[in-house]
């Protein structure tokens, strides 16, 4: 299982993903997350570490980070209203 550091800018929708391979990648991923969270100017940024077997699995289980709002609304079958 790999660990992925996701840095998601809520305003722009920009996403960066860094992979930390294998079980030994958990500690470095968490350390990187803490360092990122301590940087100023990240008020509208989500910084998370998620474990997944692959980036494809990560995209499936955490699609909101990878798709546009319009794409996510379409995949919800019109159950979401866009403002």
- Which tens digits make up the pLDDT trace of 25-73? 999 999 999 999 888 887 889 999 999 999 999 988 998 888 765 554 5
Parallel, antiparallel, or unpaired for β 45-52 and 2-9?
A: antiparallel
The two tokens of residue 53 are 């077997």
pLDDT at site 17? 95
pLDDT band at 83 (very low <50, low <70, confident <90, very high): very low
CB 68 within 8 A of CB 14: no
Which is higher by pLDDT, 80 or 23?
A: 23
21, exposed or middle or buried, with CB in 10 Å at 0-12, 13-18, 19+? exposed
DSSP secondary structure string for all residues of 43-63 = TTEEEEEEEES-HHHHHHHTG
Strand partners, 20: 3
């Amino acid at each position: 299982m790999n660990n992925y550091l996701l840095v998601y800018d809520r305003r722009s929708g920009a996403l960066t993903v860094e992979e930390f391979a294998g079980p030994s990648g958990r500690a470095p991923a968490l350390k990187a997350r803490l360092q990122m969270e301590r940087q100023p100017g990240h008020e509208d940024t989500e910084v998370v570490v998620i474990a997944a077997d692959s980036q494809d699995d990560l995209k499936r289980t955490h699609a909101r980070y990878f798709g546009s709002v319009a794409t996510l609304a379409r995949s919800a079958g019109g159950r979401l209203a866009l403002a």
